[in-house]
Chain A
Amino acid sequence: MRIMSGLGGTLMSLVTLSLFVFALASCTIVPDEDKGTKKKGEIDIYFVSDDFNPDAFVQKIWEAKVVPYFNEKSQPVTDVLSVWAIDQEAAGKQFGYREKAEGSPWNFLVRGEGSIVDVNTESRASTVGVDLEPGDGKADLVIQIGPVIKDSGIRDSLEFISFTDFTNQLEFARLSNAFNKQVHTEVLSKLDRENLLGKDVSFIGVFTQLQGTDLVRVTPVVIKVN
């Protein structure tokens, strides 16, 4: 088979080389042992290396670029939601950002004020429901307060961050997790989680267009509770 598709003059060396490479390849030991007994964080994930330090990357740009970007670009959430409620695509075109069109959800940088009308801290992905001003007692959106923060909205709303600049999806996923971790350690861990209900809140953050969700889910970058 190899002979027929090989090139005349270098035939033998090609065959030899390919056999050699093949032999090497077939000698590769695929880790097959049961790793289930290892603790969390000890699982080997293919292609994860220490060459990229996402936490350091995020810390370097957080105060210098990310927070100012949100301060500058965020829009009143009530303006966005009034269009969003009627037509998500129209809201996206008017207020949203995404790096490319097809197959990507819109991200909305928003700011707003309201009062906290419900608190869900049972799930590790904790949230508070916020009734925006002027209030009617019902939540208009939820804000994630961690420790587990879902979505990749922070990463995906930054115009100076592009997937093309990262080695692979693993790095890009770790980058998003590092942004969410930064929000938790720098912003959300300082909240008095037991005394949030009924408090006034102001925030700057991002929400992403998601499949089949009810209320928009804001990841805050700045949050103040009074």
Chain B
Amino acid sequence: MKRLIAFAAVLCLLLTVSAAFAGDKLMVIITPSHDNPFFKSEAVGAEKKAKELGYDTLVLVHDDDANKQSELFDTAIARGAKAIILDNAGADATIAPMKRAKKAGIPSFLIDREVNVTGLAVAQIVSNNYQGAKLGGEEFVKLMGEKGTYVELVGRESDTNAGIRSQGYHDVIDQYPDLKMVARQSANWSQPEAYEKMESIIQANPDIKGVICGNDTMAMGAMAALKAAGKGNVIVVGFDGSNDVRDSILAGGIKATVLQPAYRIAQMAVEQADAYVKNGKTNLPEKQLMDCVLINKDNARKLETFAMQD
């Protein structure tokens, strides 16, 4: 049955299995698809730290599908994992599987995305998205010269990060009456979806001056659509701090992004999981915010894999 599960996992669920089949010291790491380098960086950071601390790891992806995530939790429970490190597939949809894991004695450590309850996860370590969005919003306003028409691409509706970043952007941008939003759409964090949405937005609004995006993959999609339409000079700002956007900033494409310390957050979650496994507590508050850093052409060179190099 274990082999069957593994077989199904590899073939059907696009999983990476990197451990012996023992739950003894198993840490299960679940994130959205590694197509987005942000989530890949989380998985890599968590896996590296877990191995350093002597754990076996099972790295899984839920592809932002709550049903699939639920199945992955069952896998983790069946395998008797010591802890689950999770970037979840929905602030509300994640609560039920986390309850099952808790009942089975498996603690969850959330990274990047929070859930709307406390007391279920041992830790929820998230970027300070509001602080970061205000940094990005302020930079966008400056780049726009405080006036002009702009578009906002919002993230996935089931993710509180989509809401909080949009809130942060608007709390800044809406102070400037000469900045006019002509379109606001969700592209679900997705690069191809952002490309398509942007294409049709450009047709309806050929004179837009700026695009502010809830993450970097949507910024990449928007930038590609703008370039294809001969509008490569439109001001695009993202959020995440990916190497792709860094390279675009250095090449004069996208103008700015906001670095989330994704790699470090994933490692912190593993460290706290290890402390919890050993001592039954972490001595830290459950919900922890990590400040973000504005990235533009002045400091983009120092950015590498979701961390600043000194």
Contact = CB atoms under 8 A, between A and B. Distances in A.
B206 interface: no
B290 A5 contact: no
Best-buried of A2, A32, A102, A150 by chain B (most CB within 10 Å) = A102
30 contacts: A1-B8, A1-B12, A1-B13, A4-B4, A5-B5, A5-B12, A5-B13, A31-B157, A32-B186, A34-B183, A35-B184, A36-B183, A46-B160, A99-B285, A100-B285, A100-B288, A103-B261, A103-B264, A103-B288, A104-B291, A148-B175, A150-B134, A162-B285, A162-B287, A163-B288, A168-B164, A169-B128, A169-B129, A169-B164, A177-B171
A85 to B, nearest CB: 22
Interface residues of B, number: 59
A170 B164 contact: yes
B294 A43 contact: no
B91 A47 contact: yes
A169 B114 contact: yes
A30 interface: yes
Nearest to A148: B175
Contact of B181 (A36, A105, A170, A173): A36
A21 interface: yes
A103 B268 CA distance: 11
Nearest to B159: A46
Nearest to A156: B289
B18 interface: no
A164 B114 CA distance: 11
B130 A173 contact: yes
Interface residues of A, number: 45
Given A102-B268, A211-B293, A46 B157 contact: yes
B67 A21 contact: yes
Interface of B: 4-5, 7-9, 12-13, 66-67, 71, 75, 91, 114, 116-118, 126, 128-131, 134, 151, 154, 157, 159-164, 166-168, 170-171, 174-175, 180-186, 188, 261, 264, 268, 284-291, 293-294
A168 B181 contact: no
Interface of A: 1-2, 4-5, 18, 21-22, 25, 30-32, 34-36, 40-41, 43, 45-48, 99-100, 102-105, 124, 148, 150, 152, 162-170, 172-173, 176-177, 211
Given A32-B186, A36-B182, A5 B130 contact: no
A173 B128 CA distance: 10
A43 B130 contact: no
- Secondary structure type dominating chain B contacts: mixed
The 10 closest A-B pairs by CB, nearest first: A103-B290, A46-B163, A4-B8, A1-B12, A173-B130, A36-B181, A163-B287, A164-B287, A47-B163, A169-B164
A164 B286 contact: yes
A95 to B, nearest CB: 20
A45 B163 contact: yes
Contacts of A32: 185-186
Nearest to B72: A5
A177 B162 CA distance: 19
B148 to A, nearest CB: 13
Nearest to A165: B118
B167 A48 contact: yes
Contacts of A104: 289-291
Contact of B163 (A34, A48, A103): A48
Contacts of B289: 103-104, 163, 169
Contacts of B163: 45-48, 170
